[in-house]
């Protein structure tokens, strides 16, 4: 009997976990991604705020596949998927499959606001994190020699839209970068001249967490010097200002958008499937497609119902779904069927600054130093590679004791418009 061919499209958290479970199980495993590395996205904001080097949060995929029997990695752009023909169409040719795991992830959702998309930064790739870091440092360089107070103020104003974990963590890290590092690098710029504005459309930050933790996070950020604007809706942006629905505007040259995500564009190429909110593909309880039981959709692309609503687009969901899809494929090869996928909520957490975080786990809520320590250990655990863990741990230890960050290099002198073009190159189909 010929070996079954399993193709995994996308090597994010879900795809990687599915590959690990299937490795060595007697199937011909093909892994496809447009990058040759697995990216630990939760720490991208630390690359953007000069806390970590890029290489510390990425791991070469070929270094993984060479350890797995009958596993092959293909670096290619997935153009479409022919479900009826059982082939994955890439820019380098077609890949036939017997089982397919689609784990192409998500992209930033700008909710149709083209001006925001063209004039904001987001954090979905290494390239975008580096561009944002360059931009922040360039703003300080320009401000240090700017005589016009109005222009100088706009250069030193940073607007972050989205009060979820990414927005909260980036706001705290940026404030610490300014207070502990850039204030010394640029003695002509007073810390009080800088302004960080965190904007959220809802009535609180971190809406998925209990109220006590939401209030703690908001108070901590305010004490650090971060302005918080709740129930505020951004409707447009230019390279020099952010516009709100009430007609107000904030003069700023830096807008980070973390207010929403949508399924990868690859989802839109699938035919004969049902779509849920944010362009996500509606899946069966076992994570397969209704008409194609040999095709699994997992992670941010999947609209999977749980306790009356769709599961959130988060790494823990993708990891558990990757495990389930792999085990379901192995069960199918044995002629067996697994029960429907069930998500186990292990909790959520977000770090705010040095020695400060919020976390929930198994019904318990905690904040402060203990939550911060748990956040550190959990992120170190999920990083891939001993070197990466060692480098990240050393960087965090150095920053903790010396309140300094060494990765503050400006690696480009191109104009901001060119940087945006580079950023959008990386927003192609996963």
User: Which residues are marked as active site?
Assistant: 169
Which helix (DSSP H) or strand (DSSP E) does residue 101 occupy?
A: strand 99-102
Rounded to the nearest 10 degrees, what angle do helices 369-382 and 386-402 cross at?
150
Structure token digits, residue 123? 């954090």
Output 415-424 pairs: Cβ under 8 A, ≥24 positions apart. Answer: 416/135, 416/239, 416/253, 417/239, 419/131, 419/134, 419/135, 420/118, 420/119, 422/127, 422/131, 423/121, 423/122, 423/127, 423/128, 423/131
Longest dimension (CA), the chain: 76
Residues 212, 228: Cα–Cα separation, whole Å: 17
Spatial contact of 326 and 148, defined as CB atoms under 8 Å apart:
no
Residues 179, 173: Cα–Cα separation, whole Å: 10
The torsion of the CA quartet 181, 184, 185, 189, rounded to 10 degrees, works out to: 110
Q: Which residue, chain included where needed, has tokens 């044995």?
A: 334
Nearest to 252 by CA among 128, 145, 116: 116
| Burial letters 331-352, b for 16+ CB under 10 A, else e | ebbeeeeeeebeeebeebbbbb
Output DSSP code: residue 106. E
């Amino acid at each position: 009997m010929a070996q079954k061919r399993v193709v995994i499209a996308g090597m994010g958290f879900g795809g990687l976990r599915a590959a690990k479970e299937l490795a060595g199980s007697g199937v011909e495993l093909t892994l496809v991604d447009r990058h040759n590395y697995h990216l630990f996205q939760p720490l991208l904001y630390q690359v953007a705020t000069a806390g970590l080097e890029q290489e510390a949060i990425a791991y070469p995929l070929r270094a993984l596949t060479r350890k797995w029997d009958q596993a092959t990695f293909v670096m290619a752009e997935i153009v479409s998927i022919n479900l009826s023909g059982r082939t994955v169409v890439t820019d380098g040719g077609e890949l036939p499959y017997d089982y397919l795991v689609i784990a192409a992830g998500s992209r930033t959702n700008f909710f149709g606001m083209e001006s925001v998309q063209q004039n904001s930064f987001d954090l979905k790739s290494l390239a975008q994190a580096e561009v944002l870091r360059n931009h922040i440092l360039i703003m300080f360089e320009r401000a240090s020699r700017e005589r016009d107070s109005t222009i100088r103020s706009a250069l030193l104003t940073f607007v972050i839209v989205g009060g979820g974990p990414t927005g909260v963590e980036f706001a705290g890290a940026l404030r610490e970068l300014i207070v502990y590092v850039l204030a010394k690098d640029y003695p002509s710029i007073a810390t009080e001249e800088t302004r960080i504005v965190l904007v959220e459309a809802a009535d609180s930050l971190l809406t998925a967490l209990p109220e006590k933790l939401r209030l703690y996070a908001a108070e901590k950020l305010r004490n650090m010097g971060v302005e918080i604007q709740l129930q505020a809706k951004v409707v447009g942006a230019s390279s020099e200002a952010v516009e709100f629905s009430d007609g107000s505007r904030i003069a700023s040259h830096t807008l980070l958008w973390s207010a929403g995500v949508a399924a990868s564009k690859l989802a839109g190429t699938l035919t004969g499937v049902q779509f849920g909110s944010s362009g996500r593909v509606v899946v069966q309880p076992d994570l397969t497609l209704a008409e194609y039981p040999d095709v699994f959709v997992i992670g941010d692309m999947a609209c999977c119902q749980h306790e009356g609503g769709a599961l959130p687009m988060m790494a823990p969901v993708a990891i558990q779904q990757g495990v389930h899809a792999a085990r379901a494929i192995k069960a199918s090869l044995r002629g067996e069927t697994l029960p429907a996928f069930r998500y186990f909520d292990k909790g959520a957490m977000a770090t705010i600054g040095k020695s400060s975080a919020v976390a929930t786990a198994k019904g318990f809520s905690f904040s402060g130093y203990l939550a911060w320590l748990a956040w550190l250990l959990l992120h170190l655990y999920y990083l891939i590679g001993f070197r990466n863990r060692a480098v990240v741990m050393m960087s965090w230890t150095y920053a903790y004791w010396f309140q300094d960050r060494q990765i503050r290099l400006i690696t480009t002198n191109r104009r901001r418009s060119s940087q945006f073009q580079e950023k959008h190159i990386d927003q192609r189909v996963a």
